[in-house]
Structures are given as C-alpha cells and as structure tokens.
Amino acid sequence: MSVPQSPWATDVFGDQAAAVRLAVGQGLRNMQANAQAAQEQAASRTTRTYGTTRYENQYERLQDELKELPGVRAVQPFGFSYELMLIGNGLLYPFRYAKTKSDVRSARIPSESRLVRELFTFAPAPKHTQDPFDLDFGTAIPTAEPRGALATVPQGTQLILVPFACNASELLEAYWGIAALGMNRQLEWATDPEPLHLPQTVTSYTPRPISIPHQITAHTSFADGTEPTLTLSSRIASDRALHVPAQTEAEPVEDQTSEDDATH
C-alpha cells in the first residue's frame, strides 16, 4: 500500500524517502525475529538474551536493509560498537522507547550518554526550559562536539529518530521523525512522529546456531570388537618324549631399553 510521504521526509531523503521508510520498517521486523530466535535457543528463564540481541540488531538489521540504497553511508560514532546509517541529509538513530504501547509524544531518550549529546547536535534546538514563573523543573541535556566519524558528517544533516516499542513477545509499533532534546530527556517533536509500516515477512533471519560437538553415531560393543589373532605351533618331539608341560603363554621378553636411552 502506497503511503504519502511527509514533506520533511522528502526534504531529508529526496526521491528515496519511500524506499528508506520501507527499509527501516523491514529492518525493525528482522531485528525482532532475530532477537526472539536467540531467546528461544537460549532457553533461558530471563529475557537477557533477547535484550542483548535486540540491541545490536536494531543497528545491524537496519544497516542490512539500507546499505544497497544509492548514496548511503555507514557512520560509526567515536567509542560506539555499531554504525548509524546516513542517507541523503538524514542520520538515523533507532532506539526502544517502551516495552508496551505508549504515547510516543511522551517518549524520553534512553540515556544522557556522550553519544546522545553528540547526536543531538544534528537536531533542532530545544525550547526554553523555564516556565513563566521562573521555576526551573529541569535542564536540557547540553550537546557535545561530535567526535570520530560523526565529525565528518556534512553540515545540514538532520538527526532522524526511530523510536519503537517492543518486548520479547512482539514488536508493537515504530515511528520516525525529528525532535529536539528537552529537559529531563524529554523529546520535543518538531515533526509529527510518523508511524512506520512493520511488515510480517522477515527478510534477514540469522538465528544464532547452537554449536554441537561432533558425535560418534556408531557405538561399538565388546562383542563387536576385532577378534585377536592366535598363533598356534606344535610341540617338538623331545618335549613330548620328556613329558615337558605344554607352554600356553610366551615367555615375557625383557625390555632392552631404559629411561637413560631416551634421555641421554
């Protein structure tokens, strides 16, 4: 189904706005599928495996879906383990804002990390945070000078937020849009947070395999062993005449070597 593009999306991504939107939704669907597969294979009573896998997949699966689009570029912030995708004039930043369906307009950014402060240098400036009665209810997070690959991002780039809600059971909803970072990590939306289509089909399913050591499929029982070779010899005539007892085992052969032979 064709969805009209918001003016801001066309301004940021140009003719690729529709393709970017579809790719982001697909990447989030793949993220959820992979995280659930990892949780199932872990067979854990907690959802830690889901959480860890979901976190890394929210970056990597989006990259899988976007990397073939013309002009796309992967940008790795300083000290960050994953890459963010820059396409057109938009730098995409996905994050989970809730575990249940919630009003995205009341969403908060997950942390006040240095990465967050660097990213919001590409966002609009927040509104004045003081009320008319001069009561200060909090301060906006100050921005920080971008480092590493973020320092090479062209001027005019805009931070495109991709907040989504999910848990170990399901992917609930996702949005994208532009927002400033206000007081107490609150987002001040400069655009309407636009719902993203989340397809049911998974296009990048990479469950973590469980390593099973090589197993011996055929088990050998005692009765299946190789029969020993018996050496038979007849007794000489003189032994039989003198009634020498038959020898059933060979005399042990004295070892002609010693430890000194091996070590000196």
Is the CB of residue 180 less than 8 Å from the CB of residue 188?
yes
183 touches 142 (CB < 8 A): no
According to the model, what pLDDT value does residue 245 have? 65
pLDDT one-digit tens code per residue, 28-66 = 999 999 999 999 999 989 999 999 999 999 999 999 999
Residue 208: CA atoms inside 13 Å, Cβ hemisphere, count? 17
Q: What's the pTM value of the predicted model, to 2 decimals? A: 0.74
Interatomic CA distance for residues 50 and 60, integer angstroms: 15
pLDDT, tens digit (0-9, with 9 covering 90-100), for 77-94: 999 999 999 999 999 999
pLDDT digits (tens, 9 = 90+) for 153-167: 999 999 999 999 999
Q: Which two tokens stand for residue 124?
A: 């609009």
Average pLDDT over residues 16-20: 97
Q: pLDDT (tens digit, 9 = 90+) per residue, 188-205?
A: 999 999 999 999 999 976
Three-class DSSP category at 42: helix
Percentage with pLDDT > 70 across the chain: 71
Pairing of strands 158-166, 73-75: unpaired
pLDDT tens per residue, range 218-250: 455 555 555 555 555 556 666 666 666 666 555
- Give me the percent of the chain exceeding a pLDDT of 90: 67
Q: What is the pLDDT of residue 258?
A: 37
